[in-house]
Homo-oligomer: A and B are copies of this chain.
Amino acid sequence: MIRVGVVGAAGYIGGELLRLLTVHPGVELAAATSRTLRGRRIDGVHPNLRGRTELDFCSEEQLDYYDALFLATLHRETMRRMPEFLELADTVIDLSGDFRLHDKDVYADYYGVSHTAPDLLETFVPGLPEFHRRRLRTARRISVPGCMATAGILSLVPLAEAGLIRGEVTIDARTGSSGSGAKAGPENLHAERSGALRVFAPTRHRHEAEIAQAAGLSVRMTATGIEAIRGVQLVGRAHLVPGADERRVRAAYRSRYAAEPFVRVVAHRRGMHRFPEAKILAGSNFCDVGFALDRGSSHLTVIAALDNLVKGGAGNAVQCLNVRFDMPERLGLEFTGLHPN
């Protein structure tokens, strides 16, 4: 049994980690911290866990040493505290944004502050098994990508690697409200947020930088809050290189993902469900990836969807844990999603 702890367990990503880890057959969940709720029942905040755990929230001071420690902590604060976190576990799996970008200047540009631990940046392995599985097997420091970044990377990098696209990529990203966390401001008041189509980041969303870094492409992303609690969908646009066509795009995805347990290629000619859609993925660890080509054109549209709290966060982190500790990669992540939903 892998003994694990979760720092920041009262938030939405933290709660999702608890949901997955309490039933994970290879894991003993030993600690779940919250600054404000020490000693309180976990199911008071995460009511879906009623009857699933007797654990109460503890304070960070009560942490001892773990095989793996998950950090569902705030950006900016995480980098400052990383040295102490590294003392608490064999392996640290960070879900904050602080160790996703390798270049401290890019970090400063997108996060608006200087990185306080730039020397650590290169020591983190990106927490995306589809592209870093080998390194993850021995990684002691893992940085899980952002939710929209994961969808963008999984849909664009296979095409970039195969040399099929060129020039600038634009992305329209749509996200549900849980991405803003459990302590959001007036923007997330139900009466304001419900039914919204809110372009909250017309340019320079932080996840844009992650996608650009992974794909080696120039990326322009716009992020819109849409009516959903969970769920991210990306629509990307790129131009194919001469000679590339639908067949080669499909082949690039297929060869890349044929053996992947959590990426599905969804690109049918017809039917209501012919492209990836987030709502049937709620709770599941899948990222669905699809594409469409305008007839006789080099203009390619790619579409990706996932649950921002699962494959875009906690589920992906657990998948990394499975890889790291040599457990079956699907373990604890078998939930298939609901339809209708």
B-contacting residues of A (Cβ < 8 Å)? 12, 15, 19, 22-23, 44, 46-52, 168, 170, 172, 174, 176-178, 180, 182, 184, 186-199, 202-204, 220, 222, 224, 226-231, 233, 235, 237, 264, 266, 271-273, 275, 277-280, 282-284, 288, 292-295, 297, 299, 301, 303, 305, 334-341
Known: A178-B340, A220-B299. A273 touches B191 (CB 8 A): no
Enumerate chain B residues within 8 angstroms of A198, measured Cβ to Cβ: 272, 275, 277
CB pair A229 B340 closer than 8 Å: yes
A255 to chain B, nearest CB (A): 17
CB–CB A340/B12 < 8 A: yes
**Given A194-B177, A336-B52, is A235 in contact with B224 using a C-beta cutoff of 8 Å?**
yes
**Cα A321 to Cα B23 with chains together (Å):** 23
Q: Is the CB of B204 within 8 A of A226?
A: no
Q: Given A222-B301, A227-B226, answer yes or no on A191-B177 (Cβ-Cβ < 8 Å).
A: yes
| Oligomeric state, in copies | 4
CA distance A189 to B194 in the complex (A): 10
Candidate in A19, A176, A192, A235 with the most chain B CB atoms within 10 angstroms? A192
What B residues does A47 contact at CB under 8 A? Answer: 266, 273, 277, 280, 339
B203 and A226 contact, CB distance less than 8 A: no
> Would A48 and B280 count as touching, CB distance under 8 A?
yes
A222 to chain B, nearest CB (A): 6
Quick one: closest B residue to A337, CB to CB? B48
Q: Which of B44, B196, B293, B340 contacts A191 (CB 8 A)?
A: B340
Given known pairs A335-B335, A338-B282, the reply for A197 and B228 (CB within 8 Å) is yes
Measured between beta carbons, the chain B residues less than 8 angstroms from A186 are 182, 272
**26 pairs of residues in contact across A and B, judged by CB atoms under 8 Å:** A22-B336, A47-B273, A50-B288, A172-B235, A177-B190, A182-B186, A182-B191, A191-B229, A191-B340, A193-B194, A195-B228, A196-B277, A196-B279, A197-B226, A197-B277, A197-B279, A198-B272, A198-B277, A202-B303, A203-B299, A203-B301, A204-B295, A222-B301, A226-B227, A227-B228, A283-B341
